[in-house]
Structure 1
Amino acid sequence: MTNAQAEIRKNIIELFEIEKLPEEKQEETIGRIGKIIFQAVLTRVLPFLEEKDLEQYDKLMDSNPSPEQVLDFLFDKVPNFLQIVAEETENFRKEAGEVLGAIKNTL
């Protein structure tokens, strides 16, 4: 796991208090939340890649890469990648909180 990946994982665990879950649910929850956040990050960063970088990204995706390989690629190509991930993580946390609040209000 690279430093970027470790930082992203740490942020997810802290923001969503995943350490409070039973151990068997922690990895599953991190994975689910990570996928949602990753989609938001991709939507935000792909338009900023240069044409040659988009071609490299397409080739990488054709090779069925691991999530770590994709993160490493984006970390190398996108300035402030960790900041963007942090912002999208916070956006997801806020949206999830609003949805949960709305659900609680209907019960």
Structure 2
Amino acid sequence: MNTNKQTNKNEIRKNIIELFEIEKLPEEKREEAITRIGNIIFQSVLIKSLPALNEKDLAEYEKMMDNHVDADILLDFFFEKVPNFLQIVVEESENFRKESAEVLEQTN
């Protein structure tokens, strides 16, 4: 795997852990929380990223989805094809954190 891609993936993981204070969870719950939050954020990231793809890349994405490729392969694809993909992930992570905090405040 490309070292830069791995670094970017580690940055995404670190960002999720810090934004949502996952380190405060019991160790056995951390991985599940990271996965669940990551999946939610990725949906928002897709909405922002898909319009950046040209027709050929969009067809390649659709083929990958049909073949149920591994999440790491999908992330590699977006890092390669979407300019500023990491920035989109950071922005959408922060947006989700803010929205979550607002909802929690309203329930208190």
User: Aligned partner of 1:76: which letter?
Assistant: E
- The residue aligned with 1:66 is 70
1:23 aligns with 2:27: yes
**Pairing 1:100–2:104 present:** yes
C-alpha offsets along residues 22-74 of structure 1, whole Å, 9 cap, x if unaligned?
Answer: 00110010011000000000011101210010011111112211111111100
TM-score w.r.t. length of structure 1: 0.94
Instruction: Compute the TM-score of the two structures, normalised by the length of structure 2.
Output: 0.93
Residue by residue over 1:51-103, the C-alpha shift from the partner in whole angstroms, topping out at 9 and shown as x without a partner, is 01001111111221111111110000000000000000000000000000001
The answer for the alignment partner of 1:55 in structure 2 is: 59
Provide the rounded CA distance (Å) in 1 between the counterparts of 2:30 and 2:107. Answer: 23
Structure 1: unaligned runs, 5 residues or longer: none
Structure 2 match to 1:7 = 11
Q: Which amino acid aligns with 1:63?
A: N
RMSD: 1.0
AA at the equivalent of 2:75: L
> Is 1:84 aligned to 2:88, yes or no?
yes
The structure 1 segments of at least 4 consecutive aligned residues displaced by more than 2 Å after TM superposition are none
Identity of aligned residues (%): 64
Number of residue equivalences: 104
SS in 2 for 1:14: helix
Tell me the distance in 1 between the aligned counterparts of 2:74 and 2:7: 14
**Runs (5+) with no aligned partner, structure 2:** none
